[in-house]
Amino acid sequence: MPQLNVPEAIAQHRAIQPATDAYNALVTEQSQAQAEVGAAKRALPLAREADKRAYATALAADAKSKDPGEKETNTAQRAIDQAERRVAALNVAVADAEAVLHAAITAHHGDLMATLGERITNSQHALNDSLDALDTHLTAYTTAKATAGWLRNFPSGPGRGCAVPSLRMAFVANSVANADRQLHDKGPRTAKTARFAGG
């Protein structure tokens, strides 16, 4: 069963964290136990070979020697059985812990939504302020750059009714700002274009 990945903001909520910690601890144990099953199974052929070798050694010493048995094989099989039993128990424990975690999240759903809603609102206000400041600074920057270009070419360049061009990054930033505002029903903002009269 895939692990339940609870977002950090929910997992660390005071009412959810105990259930999250218990669940995560059991999932870690489950993963380790599954690895132990694999290791135990890989050891079984080696154990069988060791028992065969022990029997062969006994027969080489005395052709009428009794079979010494499968001590290593039996030990290896017991290790597999114990590891598989632990995994089976942990599977149940993890499922139970996940049910507890589900119940905790469900019980505090309203509180969690309210907390996240407040964070979203606060972050959105801060983001809007940042976008407004970025828009203001980019407009000032692009206007100054374009004006400097106009002045550099004056009087030989076109100077009457000359539109000051926008820079590409200003357009990109404005597009990002507009997209964000549209997502939050604030409406698009038009790009600013400055005009200068030549004299």
For residue range 82-123, list pLDDT tens digits in order. 999 999 999 999 999 999 999 999 999 999 999 889 988 999
pLDDT of residue 181: 63
User: pTM for the whole thing?
Assistant: 0.60
> Is residue 194 pLDDT above 80, yes or no?
no
For 21-32, the three-class secondary structure string (H helix, E strand, C coil) is: HHHHHHHHHHHH
Q: What is the Cα 27 distance to its own chain's centre?
A: 17
Domain with CATH 1.20.120 in the chain: 8-107
Instruction: Give the confidence band of 179 by pLDDT, cuts at 50, 70, 90.
Output: low
For residue range 126-144, list pLDDT tens digits in order. 999 998 899 899 989 988 9
Identify whether the C-beta of residue 188 lies closer than 8 Å to the C-beta of residue 178: yes
* Mean pLDDT estimate for the chain: 83
Percent of all residues in the chain with a pLDDT value above 70, rounded to a whole number:
77
For residue range 33-65, list pLDDT tens digits in order. 999 999 999 999 999 999 999 999 999 999 999
Q: Which fold would CATH assign to domain 8-107?
A: Four Helix Bundle (Hemerythrin (Met), subunit A) (1.20.120)
> Is residue 197 pLDDT above 50, yes or no?
no
Give the Å distances, CA to CA, from 98 to 5, 16, 91, 95. 11, 12, 11, 5
What are the DSSP calls for 169-187, one per residue?
A: HHHHHHHHHHHHHHHTT--
**Per-residue DSSP letter, 157:** S
